[in-house]
A and B are shown apart, each in its own frame.
Chain A
């Protein structure tokens, strides 16, 4: 069994190769925060590099897993399109995994409520609440979109301990530290976890939980400005 995983929900381009025996290779590419993200440039070479380094051929893949966001629209489109085209060409299934799940999963041993937050630009972030349970995390909310103030409000409303992670949590660390019973996981938890992607996707592959390729799409949460304006006008 050979699995390729891709996550491009944040500025980071992540590619992982795994088998049932564990990770074979993992590559994470970023860039200076002042430069535009380069998903379209970096992803395909990263996939080629990872397969060459691991000494495997794409033709031997059993499945392609992809982080579906929510996150950067362009990054998600590059990741999802690439995953589906690879799977199409190789005639293997695509396994979509929401990127917020990938941030929360590595913190499953925490006793606190886990709250991953991904940058959504315009001073907003995508976030969700996860309860650690034996063997993983259980999502306790929808995937949400809101300002840092909205996030703070949601955190305040929950009396228990909270552990935040993700690029948006790190960026807003100053304002989040003011909130009672909140801790922020370090930079190692800034981007969706590639080992989590491999582990969760492998489990789903073994259970043969496949999604039809047509249903594998980015989770946007936010409509286009034109649609929002149109709905406001016609309301």
Chain B
């Protein structure tokens, strides 16, 4: 059995987790800084970096305690080294290297996107590639083919805003506050998703995504119809995003012969997206894996899981490896 301590500090969550053999989560602790950033309407890198330094020790300790283990029983220490905010990534990487040094265990650097792909294997330990995964959050919109462990190809990506960014911008415009995803999800639940027929950007145009035009369409619609019901607008906007995401996910899966589709990332916590993926997959005889909310949003269990596979394949990461804020997946 190989026990990995994973650390994630790429954005505004300070997280640590203990995972055995890349499949069994012993603990997963996430300290969210959302409150610190809310007044600024988005993540402030310098504030995030400072908070990580304050939180990381306690979060790691809590992850070990909740796992009923200690550092001596940990076989490797992993951290996300990109993509993400440089000053934030550096905190997790420094902590992981120091813990690895002190315990004489290997250090493993993990790609944040790759970690999101492994969340599904924690949700369903029997799952095996090939898988087609949609990773959607405030920072990323990626359609990734996972052919095998360590073999990924990016099938589609956003050409402008990330899906979560569109949620945040529309929420801000509608006066719903930050973060925008949960706010729109809640409001949309009592709106009519067919009230406003927003166009589906790039629906039949390749495997990439575009969301900035949709945000503009929402602004234009509300300005032209000042009396429009906000819940209807939110529900219609959400329906357009979900429609594009799921249509492309399912279409690529059928075209490329993937039997299993997976979603991950913060936007995968959206209830309409989750329901629609399950629904479409069932209708087409595909298997859908929709991980628990805590596995979709940024966490360190997925980091520890990805690290286990990476360690088996490539061995430890040298201690002189730095961070890469724009690290690509493949």
Contacts and interface: CB of A to CB of B under 8 A. Distances in A.
Contact of B102 (A74, A77, A86, A218): A86
B322 A41 contact: yes
A214 B50 contact: no
B320 A44 contact: yes
Given A38-B322, A73-B49, A74-B90, A89 B102 contact: yes
A81 B91 contact: yes
B272 interface: no
A41 B93 CA distance: 10
Interface of A: 38-45, 47-48, 58-59, 73-74, 77-78, 80-86, 88-90, 213-214, 217-218, 220, 224-227, 230
A44 B99 contact: no
Pairs of residues from A and B, 10 with the lowest C-beta to C-beta distance, nearest first: A89-B102, A85-B98, A224-B46, A44-B97, A226-B44, A81-B94, A44-B319, A41-B322, A82-B98, A85-B95
21 contacts: A39-B90, A40-B322, A41-B320, A48-B101, A48-B319, A58-B104, A74-B49, A74-B86, A77-B90, A81-B98, A82-B94, A84-B98, A85-B56, A85-B96, A89-B98, A89-B102, A90-B102, A217-B53, A218-B50, A226-B40, A227-B44
B97 A82 contact: yes
B319 A77 contact: no
B87 A85 contact: no
Contacts of B44: 224, 226-227
Contacts of B94: 40, 43-44, 77-78, 81-82, 85
Nearest to B47: A224
A85 B96 CA distance: 8
A88 B86 CA distance: 24
B71 A218 contact: no
Interface of B: 39-40, 44, 46-47, 49-50, 52-54, 56-58, 60-61, 71, 86-87, 90-91, 93-99, 101-104, 107, 318-323
Nearest to A234: B39
A88 B54 CA distance: 14
Contacts of A41: 320-322
Contacts of A85: 56-57, 60, 94-96, 98-99, 102
A86 B98 contact: yes
Contact of A40 (B47, B56, B90, B103): B90
B71 A89 contact: yes
A34 to B, nearest CB: 18
A89 B103 contact: yes
Contacts of A38: 322
Contact of B46 (A39, A40, A73, A84): A73
B102 A230 contact: no
Given A38-B322, A89-B71, A214-B57, 15 more contacts: A41-B321, A41-B322, A45-B320, A82-B98, A85-B56, A85-B96, A86-B101, A88-B60, A89-B103, A214-B54, A217-B53, A218-B50, A218-B53, A225-B46, A226-B46
